[in-house]
Structure 1
Amino acid sequence: RRPPPPPGSAPSRPAPSRPRLGSRSPAARARPAAQHGSAARGLSSGGLSPNRRRRLGGFQIQRGKTDPTSYKSLGDSFRTIFQREGLLGFYKGIFPPILAETPKRAVKFFTFEQYKKLLAYASLPPGLAFAVAGLGSGLTEAVVVNPFEVVKVTLQTNRNAFTEQPSSFVQARQIIKTNGLGLQGLNKGLTATLGRHGVFNMVYFGFYFNVKNILPVNKDPNLEFLRKFGIGLVSGTIASIINIPFDVAKSRIQGPQPVPGEIKYRTCFKTMATVYKEEGFLALYKGLVPKIMRLGPGGAVMLLVYEYVYAWLQDTIDSN
């Protein structure tokens, strides 16, 4: 026993007791339970909570600065996806675009020609006729590609390894089984897709053919090729800048919702308003750089192929 303190001295405070090894406070004990609940919600939605699953293509499904896995830049997104999902992670959702690409391009250029012929009866100015025909072709194209887009976005927002995620056909069957073929299922986000393709093609075709008819033709075939390529490059770039808010809205609607079981992003323009209100104006332009990198030169190549193939077909028909 300790000797009693001398008279007049202040009473000593008892030494704080050390917690036993392995003991935790009530708050600390509560944390694992919450974590297990989050993990359960994540597993019920495909292995990872929805706010951790995004597509490569522009950070468009990120939910602002509070998202713990936000990509800081284009380079950071490439590095992060490679580290977490491997090289094949860059090719998630590639099969639906491959299936859709041929009918998509065929519909785009075929319907553009058909709408252009129909508008010839309306006596519209040529510049306006090109833009309206482009709008019509984009709206038609959107109806064809939207189901493929739903499957692609669903696959790309799955953060499991490439070999662990379902195939495109399995994913499509799952979407149909769960939500059907309508606007909550395989055609979810149709309005945003209509806006994306309609606006893009309207600017794309309208700008290209109007500017091409204004700038003088070069007699040198190589310079003429570069002239058309340059106009097509600018056309694809401007169209991408103008239509990307619809692209962001489409990705938010078709991608995983922030809270499981609660639909936050429902309609096109309401989604745009929500993104603008919560994340700012620049959030509507997420993914602009990779989009321009893809559709700037890609759009120029498509227009050149269309022009030269169309001219060849016309010469073939005329010669026969």
Structure 2
Amino acid sequence: MTSVVEPAMAPKHNQMKLHTMQFAAGGCAGFVEVSLMHPLDLIKTRFQIQRGPDDPHRYTSLADCFKKMYRNEGALSFYKGILPPLMAETPKRAVKFFTFERYKEAFSSFKALPESSILFMSGLCSGLTEAVIINPFEVVKVKLQADRHAFKEQGSTLATAREIIKNDGFGRRGMNKGLTSTLGRHGVFNMIYFGFYHNVRDLLPQAETHGLEIARKLLIGFVSGTIASCVNIPFDVAKSRIQGPQPVPGQIKYRTCLATIATVYREEGYLALYKGLLPKILRLGPGGAIMLLVNEYAFEWMKENL
């Protein structure tokens, strides 16, 4: 009696379609995260650009910042500068997650590298790639966030971008201002964010129920985003100082990443390098968890339904 061999089932998706889905899932993650967490990003920037106790616009606490912004600039002021990140977050987060997977594949070909190192290195490279793409959007966003006029009096995103290009062009004084600090910020963040999350997620046993498994991943994502935020914030402060308004109009005090970090440390002390840490953690702790989960479940949904 002859046996009939069942033909192998063809894969549901080819490699190109899977890559497209990964890209789209990362974009969904970025859009959701920015929509929910942007007000905290704005407050973080306000704290980072204020200087010593003589700053006339100084905020003493998160509550003080919320109160003064609401009273002086209106409720919509908490969404100042949201259009650049919304326009950028879809491709930015898509690039973040997509390139992480591609770098991981590339580094995996080096058999001598342990898997834990591959995850950290892939995160670092994805962050550097992400930074190059996102920096012009960050320049526009910080300029809008630093503006203390009421929301309705503020120039549009497009008008602000045109003004920057007209006055300073696309170089290191214009749309690519602060690129080195953005590279440091995103490279360090993604290295820890992805490396910690995937290493710890694989070490801890899966939960028994779907709800607990979501909670497990949210917790690991929250810790990943929090640790990454604590480590990379000096680069973030340097970026805000370089891209934000200079202390004396017309004179550029903050030029390069490491020089700015040294200046802030020398003039204001080491704690000044951690300005905005609380709103940053409040944003990127839960925000980081949201992104990882939305990316993962969006990708799984696309594979099942598209």
Q: Compute the TM-score of the two structures, normalised by the length of structure 2.
A: 0.83
The reply to whether residue 287 of structure 1 matches residue 276 of structure 2 is yes
Residues 247-289 of structure 1, C-alpha deviations (whole Å, 9 max, x = no match): 1000000001001111110000110011111111111111111
- For 2:291 and 2:255, the matched residues in 1 are separated by 33
Is 2:193–2:228's contact at 8 Å kept on the other side of the alignment?
yes
- Structure 2: which 5+ runs fail to align? 1-41
SS at match of 2:48: coil
For the structure 1 residues 79 and 112, does the alpha-carbon distance in structure 2 shift closer, same or farther, using more than 3 Å as the test?
same
Equivalence for 1:167: 156
- For 1:163 and 1:245, the matched residues in 2 are separated by 32
For the structure 1 residues 92 and 315, does the alpha-carbon distance in structure 2 shift closer, same or farther, using more than 3 Å as the test?
closer
Equivalence for 1:21: none
- For 2:148 and 2:302, the matched residues in 1 are separated by 46
Residues 138-161 of structure 1, C-alpha deviations (whole Å, 9 max, x = no match): 111111111111001111111111
Equivalence for 1:297: 286
Offset, 1:312:
4.7
Identity %: 64
Equivalence for 1:60: 48
- Structure 1: which 5+ runs fail to align? 1-54
The reply to whether residue 244 of structure 1 matches residue 233 of structure 2 is yes
Offset, 1:68:
2.2
The answer to which structure, 1 or 2, has the higher relative contact order (CA under 8 A, 6+ apart) is: 2
Offset, 1:168:
0.5
Offset, 1:126:
0.7
Selected match of 2:72 from 61, 65, 84: 84
Equivalence for 1:13: none
The reply to whether residue 177 of structure 1 matches residue 205 of structure 2 is no
- The structure where helix makes up a greater share of residues is 2
Equivalence for 2:246: 257
Specify the code of the residue in structure 2 equivalent to 1:205.
F
* Large movers: runs of 4+ above 6 Å: none
Q: Compute the TM-score of the two structures, normalised by the length of structure 1.
A: 0.79
Equivalence for 2:89: 101
The reply to whether residue 70 of structure 1 matches residue 61 of structure 2 is no
Residues 31-61 of structure 1, C-alpha deviations (whole Å, 9 max, x = no match): xxxxxxxxxxxxxxxxxxxxxxxx6325000
Cα root mean square deviation, aligned: 1.5
The reply to whether residue 233 of structure 1 matches residue 209 of structure 2 is no
Specify the code of the residue in structure 2 equivalent to 1:109.
F
Residues 152-199 of structure 1, C-alpha deviations (whole Å, 9 max, x = no match): 111111111111121000110110011000111011000000111111
Task: Mark the structure with the bigger radius of gyration.
Answer: 1
- For 1:56 and 1:291, the matched residues in 2 are separated by 9
Report which stretch shifted further, 299-308 or 189-198: 299-308
- For 2:208 and 2:194, the matched residues in 1 are separated by 24
